[in-house]
Structure 1
Amino acid sequence: MKRHWTAIALALSLVFVSACGKAADPAAAGHDGHGQHAGDGKEAAVPDSTKAVWKLSAAKPQAGANTTVSVQIQDAQGKPVEKFDLNHEKMMHLIIVSQDLSVFDHIHPVYKGGGLFEIDTRFPSGGEYKLFADYVPTGGAAVTKSERIAVDGPKAAPVPIAADAKLTKTLEGKEVTLSYDHLMANMEIKLNFHLVDAKTKKPITDLQPYLGAVGHVVILSADGERYLHVHPTDEKAKGPDASFMTTFPAAGTYKIWGQFQQNGQTFIVPFVVNVP
């Protein structure tokens, strides 16, 4: 299956959100579920009545070894949910994040039918990870479900989760600056990513669609409990700016991953902010 581990300038990043609605999963309760996913900040009219049953191919996954992740989606009566809508070109988005948020992966399980999704992946080091599954049952609202797992094996040195003093990062020949109109919990905010060539400082205007949009943004609180997956306000933009509307559900420290594509290559740029 397709795997995508991305190394980012200052930290290694691994994993997870998608359309619109209220998260039924307590682990994702810091965000209004998927209103943030769709980028419209609105709650879904249809409540979530599904549940996710997680299964790993090994009781104790080993770092570096192939692990099959299975997610069985059921209704309130425990019966398989059969039909799902495409959400940004995929039936399910799976986000994987390490406990210190240094590892981030965004992958896409294959639908096997009968509500079952599967994918093979490798966890880069031992420790705790949190998995987020985003999906849209046909006729329902977008949903996020999460699961914490422990991986055996050598652990990487923990990376402190601290707010960036400067919101400009350089990676893979690109200079990316994050800006916002204001920063406060429970208030809608516009996040803007400005991209230029790191050497020439010329604006980048040839971003390619990534999963049907100019970019995607995943946001997670430092404790891993508040999760947002935000889509751009203008999906057809090509740069140098990509804007996203969202609402931070509570004060605290959050990590933001911006995901973009240029010249057929996907790149991820991370930022950490303190939200008053």
Structure 2
Amino acid sequence: MKYLLLLLSFVTVFGLSGCGSKTHSGSTHQNMNHDTKEKKDSTQAQFSFNGIPEGGKKVNLNIQINSLNGKPVDQFELEHEKLMHLIVVSKDLSFFDHLHPQYKGKGLFTVVPNFPNGGEYKLFADFIPKGSDKNVKTKLVKVSGQQGEPISLTPDKLLTKVIDGKEITLKFDKLTTNDEAKMTFTLKDAKTKKDIINLQPYLGAIGHVVAISGDTNTYLHVHPMNEKSSGPDAEFMTSFPKKGVYKIWGQFKQNGNVFIVPFIVDVP
């Protein structure tokens, strides 16, 4: 079986809480000579808040990265201009945020996440220790406060959305498990239907894609094939490890503004 996971950062997470949880990951990037065999994590993570997380209120989150023997990890590799990418989703995947915690030294990252309501949220801390492979650590957080109405995860019948005056269509060359799939985002002006060709680099690339399974146990962070493109097409290669419903968020930038377009697909 081929594992040609081009431009893909992949991890299947066993368990819902991730202080030092085990993950499997592999990655290759354009113009980089990484192999794609499964790698072992080289770190453990501790997530802590300076107070009780509550919906609609700000509280500082600390993420401490230590080696497996408990010593702080001092150095990290830049990946798309950042030392850490933190993805925050609500348990029903109706809420999504992509943050970049600030590195304070000696393995400590800090950030103030936005929890709009009470309920359960899943955190994915995505980083590369210097001289090591990509690590992804997760944490299930229970946030106090009034909960919003849960939103069912229903696959989209039409993979075209209008966001901020832009019409975005998502297409797959094929949609199946354990095989390469190319997904293409095509962007047009919603009124004129003219191709958008002035996309700006977002974190050093035309765009970024995150996909998470409906049970939140599978996480895909995908980088584009054509990083220097400015539109109208943004192409990504990925592989879905198991069948089921996934929510996909594409992130792009135009005229200085970052916008997010979500899609829900059922992978047979």
Scaled by the length of structure 2, what TM-score is found? 0.90
| Residue 153 of structure 1: how far off its partner (Å) | 0.6
**Inter-CA distance 210–119: structure 2 relative to 1 (3 Å threshold):** same
Question: Match of 1:195?
Answer: 187
Question: Match of 1:107?
Answer: 99
Which one of the candidate residues 14, 27, 32 is aligned to 1:26? 14
| Residue 21 of structure 1: how far off its partner (Å) | 6.7
1:56 and 2:49 aligned: yes
Which one of the candidate residues 81, 102, 106 is aligned to 2:73? 81
Question: Match of 2:213?
Answer: 221
1:175 and 2:163 aligned: no
Larger RCO of the pair (alpha carbons < 8 Å, separation 6+): 1
| Residue 171 of structure 1: how far off its partner (Å) | 1.1
Which one of the candidate residues 229, 233, 239 is aligned to 1:237? 229
Q: How many residues align?
A: 255
1:154 and 2:138 aligned: no
**Inter-CA distance 124–21: structure 2 relative to 1 (3 Å threshold):** closer
| Residue 61 of structure 1: how far off its partner (Å) | 1.1
* Structure 1 counterpart of 2:40, one-letter code: P
Contact 1:62/1:153, CA 8 A, preserved across alignment: yes
Measure, in 1, the Cα distance between the counterparts of 2:53 and 2:178.
38
Measure, in 1, the Cα distance between the counterparts of 2:99 and 2:206.
17
- Secondary structure class of the residue paired with 1:35: strand
**Inter-CA distance 45–20: structure 2 relative to 1 (3 Å threshold):** farther
| Residue 33 of structure 1: how far off its partner (Å) | 2.3
Measure, in 1, the Cα distance between the counterparts of 2:10 and 2:185.
26
4+ long deviations beyond 6 Å? 19-22
Calculate percent identity across the aligned residue pairs.
49
Contact 1:20/1:44, CA 8 A, preserved across alignment: no
Question: Match of 1:211?
Answer: 203
| Residue 32 of structure 1: how far off its partner (Å) | 5.7
**Inter-CA distance 46–187: structure 2 relative to 1 (3 Å threshold):** closer
**Inter-CA distance 196–24: structure 2 relative to 1 (3 Å threshold):** closer
Question: Match of 1:142?
Answer: 134
Measure, in 1, the Cα distance between the counterparts of 2:232 and 2:161.
15
**Inter-CA distance 248–94: structure 2 relative to 1 (3 Å threshold):** same
Measure, in 2, the Cα distance between the counterparts of 1:260 and 1:225.
25
Measure, in 2, the Cα distance between the counterparts of 1:32 and 1:234.
26
- Alignment gaps of 5+ in structure 2: 1-6
Q: Deviations over 1:87-140 (max 9, x none)?
A: 100000000000110100001000000000001133100000000001010001
- The RMSD of aligned alpha carbons is 2.2
**Inter-CA distance 81–24: structure 2 relative to 1 (3 Å threshold):** farther
Q: Deviations over 1:142-200 (max 9, x none)?
A: 11110000001111111110100000000100000000001001111000000000000
Measure, in 2, the Cα distance between the counterparts of 1:27 and 1:226.
11
Question: Match of 2:119?
Answer: 127
Question: Match of 2:36?
Answer: 43
Question: Match of 1:267?
Answer: 259
- Secondary structure class of the residue paired with 2:216: coil
